[in-house]
Amino acid sequence: MGLSLGFHIIFAICGIGMPLLMCIAEWVYLRTNNLLYLTLAKRWSQGTAIMFAVGAVSGTVLSFELGLLWPTFMKFAGPVIGMPFSLEGFAFFLEAIFLGIYLYGWEKISTRAHWLTGVMVLISGTSSAILVVAANGWMNTPTGITIQNGVVTHFDPFEAMNNPAWLPQSLHMVLAAYASMGFFAAGIHAIGLLKKPENLFHQTGLRVAFWVGAVTIPLQLASGHLSAMHVAQYQPMKLAAMEGQWKTEAGAPLRIFGWPNEKEQRTEFAIEIPKMLSFLAYENPDAVVRGIADFPVDERPPIWPIHVSFQVMIFAGMAMLATALLGVFLHGKKKSFESTPWFLKLLALCSPMGFIAVEAGWMVTEIGRQPWIIWHTMRTSEALTPMPYLQIPFLFFTGLYGILSFIVVYLLRKRVFHVDA
């Protein structure tokens, strides 16, 4: 299921982020009557449709896998996560309906009504993501259930949806989607400009996509700080693994890079910034941060995958932030970043950074919760299906995702980012 989630999340990000790009492009067209923005809106809407279709297929696979691979989890958690998932289904249908109107409504409805259908695609796509993340947030901070003598005696699905993790996780996920999509599209248009520097389509697309990424990436880093404070309060074991913090100490340092040595219980080759972890986690440079050694061995997750994934996420986010600041600097100096080759190459390198950061971030979230599938309520080993030969569906789905990836890349090149010579 990790493979399916890792594949699906890319298309989920595009389903959230691409409608924002197409809405902005059409809004600028309505204000300026510049046909380049109309072309952009139409091209990006086709990209949204491609990503939506593949995301629907991979999302259906995930629905089956939830029931087939995690029967004990679904029996226990179904009454709780059924509510956000059913509402997510409603948002998904709204997104499909309005996307259909948007794609086929050009010149059939008023221009303002057409733009509003695009806004509805954006709202329903974002709502869909928030509802799914609410279910995941409940797995990290379960609320709305009462357990007596090992038996669940009461469910409150609305209290469960309003769990402590849903807001910081949802905010972090939505901003990640906007920033990732902005940098991805900006990078693709930058590649187009490196090949055809005078192309107005790529120049216009780069400007819109870059500013979406440049505005959202600092907000994303701020939301990451809120998420870290939340994890410090509710999942201190996960924070310790993220940071490679082995011993409980006041004024704990922030570690950049490094490799956790589990045998000697220390993180090697790390650059340490004194007291910074205590400050970032608790807004107090002398606050006490619990270390990995402070937790029972059978309640610790795998340390190195979490620490490395966290470092990858931070590096990707910082690379996008630095690129955004350079672009803003060039803009402030009245220099056109669309015609600056070294900056276009930098944008091209940053194009996949958002997706890499999201994949790494979800590895931190999911592996960091281990050995629990529901934090301190149900262990992952208790929830997994006993079905043998899981390698067979794994190989089939790996092949399916490979074929779908090839089709998506081909369609995006032909239908969205292609420019006639």
Q: Are 122 and 177 in contact (CB under 8 A)?
A: no
Least confident of 97-111, 200-214, 388-402: 388-402
Q: What contacts 337, CB < 8 A, 6 or more positions away?
A: 206, 210, 327, 330, 331, 343, 344
| C-beta separation of 241 from 307 below 8 A | yes
d(CA 265, CA 27) in angstroms, rounded, equals 55
Provide DSSP, 144-180: SEEEETTEEEEE-HHHHHT-TTHHHHHHHHHHHHHHH
* Mean pLDDT of the residues in the chain: 92
Q: What is the CA radius of gyration of the chain?
A: 23
**pLDDT at res. 68:** 83
Q: Measure CA 17 to chain center.
A: 10
**What would the two tokens of residue 260 be?**
């956790």
pLDDT digits (tens, 9 = 90+) for 304-328: 999 999 999 999 999 999 999 999 9
Exposed e or buried b for every residue in 167-205, given b needs 16+ CB within 10 A?
Answer: bbbbbbbbbbbbbbbbbbbbbbbbbbbeeeeebebbbbb
For 372-408, how does the pLDDT look when each residue is reduced to its tens digit (9 = 90+)? 999 999 999 998 887 778 788 888 888 888 888 888 8
Among the listed residues 216, 220, 185, 174, the one whose alpha carbon sits nearest the alpha carbon of residue 347? 185
Tens digit of pLDDT for each residue in 323-361? 999 999 999 988 888 889 999 999 999 999 999 999 999
- Residue 136: per-residue pLDDT: 94
